[in-house]
Amino acid sequence: MAQPIADRRDVDFVLHEQLNVTQLTENDLFADFNKKTVDMIVSEARSLAIKEIMPTQQPSDEGCVFEGGQVTLPECFKRPWDLFMEGEWLGMSDDPKWGGGGMPKTVALAASEYFQGANVAFMLYHGLTHGAAKMIEEIGDDEQKKLYLKNLYSGKWAGTMLLTEACAGSDVGALETVAEKNADGTYSIVGNKIFISGGEQNMTENIVHPVLARIKGAPAGTRGISLFLVPKFRVNADGSLGEFNDVVCTGIEHKMGINGSATCSLTLGGAGKCIGTLLGEENKGMRSMFIMMNDARQLVGLQGFAVATTSYMHALAYARERIQGANMLKPQDGGVPIIQHPDVRRQLLEMKSMVEGIRSLIYFSGMCHDRVKLAKDAAEKAEYSELLEILTPIIKGYVTDKANEVCSHGVQVYGGYGFCKDFPVEQLLRDSRIFQIYEGTNGIQSMDLLGRKIGMNKGKPFMGFLGRIKEAIDKAKGIQGLEAMAAKAEKTYTLYTEVVGEIAKAAMGEKVLNAFAQSHPLLTATGDLTMAWMLLWRAAVASDALAKAKGKDAAFYEGQIKTCEFFVNNTLFITEGRLNAIKNMNGAVVEISEDAFGTK
């Protein structure tokens, strides 16, 4: 039977052979998570995803219903929603003190791959709930933690993120929502928010909204933004629900994809009765919100990856079954499965190289989270924390760009059927498009990489990131059969380090606009180099294992080496062309007049 979401053999390879996740059990914090337990967790997640969540994917594409300020989610969500909560899947890697499961983040990401790949719209509600809870755990006061955390991590209540307004999209500092302090220390909130995922729904008894607003008299721009907790229903001191808190849904968007996720417009304080409590410090709202934003950006990368791997699994199964055309070398034998045709094989290998490289990257980011938690000293904690900061724009930006490409290939492999709603790859392609936009567009991610992450802490963390890539290349150079691949990757690496130095220097000088016009190509090149790192690492592990492998295992390990060979000898040549274009830093983007783009 074809695997409909992810290749379990590859999931196990990354967890146990590439990352050796059970090494984490050497620490008391993760002592209970041996190989048997890890495998059981992934198996249970896979079963729930395939049997209960995945059947909701196509019917939920019909969307949600808005009527009289209320949003009704697809009826098919009810059973898997309840099962997801009963299984305590929402807070898998969070502190047991607040109802979390305490498992390694690396393992939680493997489970989440199946959930997200089954129905990303269904999982959006849970992802945002987790992000809101995490922020309260990080910066909330004792009372807020006591009132909210267990209800959020259990999924009894839901959470959202209220940033965007009609006049303040990417420019958050332009927001107009205001907060006025009351005598009892609470705040009256008045404003309008748009594009709020899960802003209203009928699955939970309460929804907790972290809201960005400006306290009256606060400075303009992002410096004057504060963060507030605004529940749909007020929460009494004993934890019981109080009166409706004047958070009114005024409509939902009709979208290209993720239609099972309600994207809401909300009015706060329209009747003058919306009350919030300050979360964190006054005028530090943006800094606080970035706790949730970074979590959310890594989640978006996971969403894109999971949708892409699902598309690949469908395309691979279809290519093995669809008989069309003869083998070019043996036309007399008649029709063959399309996986035997060279161009289809090329597309499948492009999909495979991306899906597998990204799986390694995302699981590795989970390992970085775990290393932060287990760090023995401040230096080790800083090393992995800063590495995560560098990886975040790559995971959010590069991964979601490539996920959309993978999903497009999925449609192409199906041919005309892929363009029809009767087949799953059409919806997956539509769903994948939003990931390049929300939680900071990929253009913003590229500016973050160039403007902040490369020069962060005098460039030391970025040099450490590059050092890890060079270490993988050097190791591959010493393995028989990988030498040529490693040499090619080293050539690209050398050019990249030269170019990144030049563009970073230009970004601080007179050619700053020219430099930032190249920030997205630089993000793509950085992502390509990161994929080369991951695929070489995989090939090195596979090469060591191949000598003793037999049957399907031997084919799997050979596939790792061939996938790396394909990527290095195809994609990295394109990367070098891109790097040379960046180095040229042509000024056409900056110099062309607005009128020259076209007639008004």
Catalytic residue numbers read: 439
Closest CA to 361 of 407, 411, 308, 315: 308
- Residue 585 contacts residue 518 (beta carbons within 8 Å): yes
Contacts of 351 (CB under 8 A, 6+ apart): 308, 311, 312, 315, 316, 406, 409, 410
Other CB atoms within 10 Å distance of the CB of residue 592? 10
- Residue 241 contacts residue 206 (beta carbons within 8 Å): yes
Contacts of 283 (CB under 8 A, 6+ apart): 215, 218, 219, 223, 224, 225, 226
Angle at 302 between CA 232 and CA 521, to 5 degrees: 115
Closest CA to 403 of 160, 120, 599, 164: 120
Give burial (CB, 10 Å; 0-12/13-18/19+) of 597. exposed
Cα–Cα distances (Å) from 229 to 77, 208, 310, 470, in that order, read 27, 7, 36, 45
Give the alpha-carbon dihedral of 339, 340, 346, 349, to 10 degrees. 50
- Alpha helices by DSSP H, 339-415: 342-374, 378-393, 399-414
- 244 backbone dihedrals φ, ψ, rounded to 5°: -60, 135
**Separation CA 457–CA 454 (nearest Å):** 9
